[in-house]
Structure 1
Amino acid sequence: MVGLSFPDLSSMFQISSQQQSEYQQNGHILLHNIVDSDDIDLYRHLIHNGVEKFNTEFREMSERDTYGRAFLQVMNLWEVDEDIKNFTFSKRFAQIAADLMGVEKVRLYHDQALFKEAGGGHTPWHQDQYYWPIDTSNTITMWMPLIDISEEMGMLTFASGSHELGFLGNLAISDKSDDVLGDIVKEKGYPIIRASSMKAGDATFHAGWTLHNAPGNNSSKTREVMTIIFVADGAKISEPQNAHQEADRQRWIQGLPVGGLVASELNPILN
C-alpha cells in the first residue's frame, strides 16, 4: 500500500432531526454510504492485514467456546498503524456519534475489528456497556462492514428500545447472557430489527445498553467489520462492577482513578 493516499474522512455526514429521534427512541440506527466504496476498500486492506498480523486466536472452531466462535477480535489497531488511526479518528464518524446522542463532543473509547469467520458461531444477546466502567448512557458504537454483507453472514440484530432498561447485570457475552437477555427481549416484546444486507461503508450505530446479537456466519466468506466506540466528553469513570470493567479501566483509560474523567491519552476528543 506504499504510495497510496488515504482519504481523511473529515467531511461531514448530515444527521437529520428525524434520524436523531429514531436513534434515541430505538437505541440503534442504520445509515447508508457513510464511506464510499473506493475509500472503504483502501481502509479494508489495512484493517484486514492488521487482523491477520495481530489476531491471537489460532484454535480450531470446534475447540473454542461460544465467545471464541462468535468472531475474531483485534482491538485498537489505530495504535499500531497511522493510516488506520486516520480511519478511527475520523471527524465524520465522531460527528455522527455526537449528533445522534445529542452531545457536543465525543471521545474515543477504543476501536475493534470483529471478523466473523465462515462457519463462525452466533454472537449471543449482550450489552456492550457491561464491559465499560463509564457513568453515562451517552455511549455509542459504530459497526461498519468493510465488504458487502448479507443476512446469512451474521448481520447485527437489535432489540429496539431495549436501551431504556440500562444495566441488566453482570452478564458477559456467553450462553448465559443469551438465555437471560433473550428471555427479557421476549418478555418485553421488543421488536427485533436486522438489515437484510449492508454495503461496505454503511454502518449501524447503537447505544451501549442496547441489547443485540448476531446469527452465525453461514456463508463461505468472512464477515469483515470495523467498530469504533465513542463516549460523550465529560463522562466519568465509575466503580468497576466486574473484572472486565477493571481490565478496561486499566487498558483503555490507562488506569485513571474512579471518579475521574474518561480522558486518558487513549481517549482524545475526535470532533
Structure 2
Amino acid sequence: MTERYTIALPTMTTRDDLLSGSEILDFYESGYLCPGRVFDNEEVDALRGLVASVQDRERDEGRVYDLLDPDLWPDVDEPRPTGAGPVEFLFNLWRVEPEIQPFVFNPTLARWASQLIGTRRVRLLEDNALTKAPGSGGELKWHQDFPYWPLAQPNAVTAWIALDDTDAGNGAMRMAAGSHLTGERLPSVFGTGTPYMRDQRPAVVKPMGDPAAMGFEVRTVALAAGEVSFHSSLVWHASGPNRTDHPRRALVIRFVGDGTIWLGSQRYEYNYSDAEVGLSAGQPIGGEYFPLIPC
C-alpha cells in the first residue's frame, strides 16, 4: 500500500535538540515530560486559525463532537454531568487540512516520541483538536489513553501542545506521577469516571481509582502557549473545568512505534474500521492512515 505522507518537512520548532538522558529517565519514572516550547507565537497564531477553520467546517458536517455527550457511551447508562459545558473534540485534522500537516508531522516532535517510546521509527496514530469552552468547559475524569486504542501493546505516546496558556483555572491536565507503572485499567466514561467494558476485557480487572488516595502524587501540568507535554499511554491523567472567560485550546498528536500490532475492532471500535484502514487484527500498523514521520 502506498504511503503518501512520508515526505521530509522543515523543522519549525524553538527547540530541536534530542531529549537528554535525564529527561528520558524522568519520563520513564513519572509517565510524562514537559520538554519546553516547540512553536513560537507566530506558529501558535497560525495553528489557532487553522484549527478554528477546520472546526467550523467539520462542525457543519457533524464531525465535531463533545467528549461529555452521553451518546458517545452506548453501552453505559450515563447522564451528562450537571452544569458541564462542552469539551469539543475533532479527530484527524491532518487528513482534511493540508496546511496543518507541517505542524503534525514536525520532525522534532517525532524524534522525541521515538526516544520516549524506544523505537527508531514512529508513525502517526492520530491527531485531535481539543477545546474547552469559556466559563463552562467541562471536567475530564481520570483515564488512560491506551484502553481506547485498537493496539496490542502500549507502544505509543501523546504530545499535548497548548494553544493557550493553561493552568488549574482553565482546565490544565493533571498527572498521577508513576501511575503508568501499575499497568492497564478499564476504560472509563470521560465525564463521570464510570468504568466499562468489563466483559470485553476480562484480563483487565481493575478500574481507575482516586490516585491521591492510592498514594500517587498528583501534579498540575501548567503550560504556556506553544509548549508541549508528552505522556505515556498508560499514565493516569485528568483535567478540570475551564472557569475563565477564554477558551482552552490544544492540538494533540499521538505517536505509535513502528511495528506495533493492530488489533482493530477485536479490541476497540476505533474511528476507522479495519477495512477502511486496510488492516486485520495481528498485522503491524501501517498504511496511509498511519504514516511514518521523518525524524
- TM-score of Structure 1 vs Structure 2, range by shorter chain: 0.7 to 0.9
Which residue in 1 is equivalent to 2:209?
182
> What is the SS of the residue equivalent to 2:193?
helix
> What is the SS of the residue equivalent to 1:268?
coil
Structure 1 counterpart of 2:161, from 130, 139, 144:
144
TM-score by length of 2: 0.79
> For residues 256 and 58 of structure 1, do their structure 2 counterparts lie closer, same or farther at Cα, with a shift above 3 Å needed?
closer
> For residues 251 and 16 of structure 1, do their structure 2 counterparts lie closer, same or farther at Cα, with a shift above 3 Å needed?
same
Q: Note the C-alpha offset of 1:150.
A: 2.9
Q: Distance in 2 between matches of 1:144 and 1:112?
A: 10
Which residue in 1 is equivalent to 2:51?
47
Which residue in 2 is equivalent to 1:82?
98
Q: Distance in 1 between matches of 2:170 and 2:275?
A: 30
Q: Distance in 2 between matches of 1:18 and 1:252?
A: 42
Checking the alignment, whether the CA contact within 8 Å between 1:133 and 1:246 is kept in structure 2 is yes
Q: Note the C-alpha offset of 1:85.
A: 1.3
Q: Note the C-alpha offset of 1:24.
A: 1.1
Structure 2 counterpart of 1:73, from 89, 101, 104:
89
- Give a deviation string over 1:3-62, Cα, whole Å, max 9, x none: xxx975378333110000001111111121122222222222111221222234689x99
- Give a deviation string over 1:58-84, Cα, whole Å, max 9, x none: 89x999824984510001111111111
Tell whether 2:19 aligns with 1:15.
yes
Q: Distance in 1 between matches of 2:92 and 2:264?
A: 23
Checking the alignment, whether the CA contact within 8 Å between 1:7 and 1:39 is kept in structure 2 is no
Unaligned runs of 5+ in 1: 1-5
Which residue in 1 is equivalent to 2:262?
237
Structure 2 counterpart of 1:226, from 245, 251, 269:
251
Unaligned runs of 5+ in 2: 1-8, 71-78, 196-206
Higher helix residue share: 1
Range with bigger deviation, 38-47 or 228-237: 38-47
Output the amino acid matched with 1:173. F
Q: Percent identity?
A: 26
Output the amino acid matched with 1:9. M
Q: Note the C-alpha offset of 1:237.
A: 1.2
Output the amino acid matched with 2:281. V
Structure 2 counterpart of 1:210, from 231, 235, 238:
235
Checking the alignment, whether the CA contact within 8 Å between 1:236 and 1:259 is kept in structure 2 is yes
TM-score by length of 1: 0.86
Q: Distance in 1 between matches of 2:141 and 2:217?
A: 17
Q: Distance in 2 between matches of 1:124 and 1:189?
A: 18
Q: Distance in 1 between matches of 2:165 and 2:51?
A: 15
Q: Distance in 2 between matches of 1:62 and 1:24?
A: 34
Q: Distance in 1 between matches of 2:247 and 2:255?
A: 26
Tell whether 2:254 aligns with 1:254.
no
Q: Distance in 1 between matches of 2:65 and 2:259?
A: 39
Q: Distance in 2 between matches of 1:23 and 1:253?
A: 34
Aligned positions, number: 261
Q: Note the C-alpha offset of 1:251.
A: 6.9
Tell whether 2:112 aligns with 1:102.
no
Q: Note the C-alpha offset of 1:131.
A: 0.9
> For residues 43 and 249 of structure 1, do their structure 2 counterparts lie closer, same or farther at Cα, with a shift above 3 Å needed?
closer
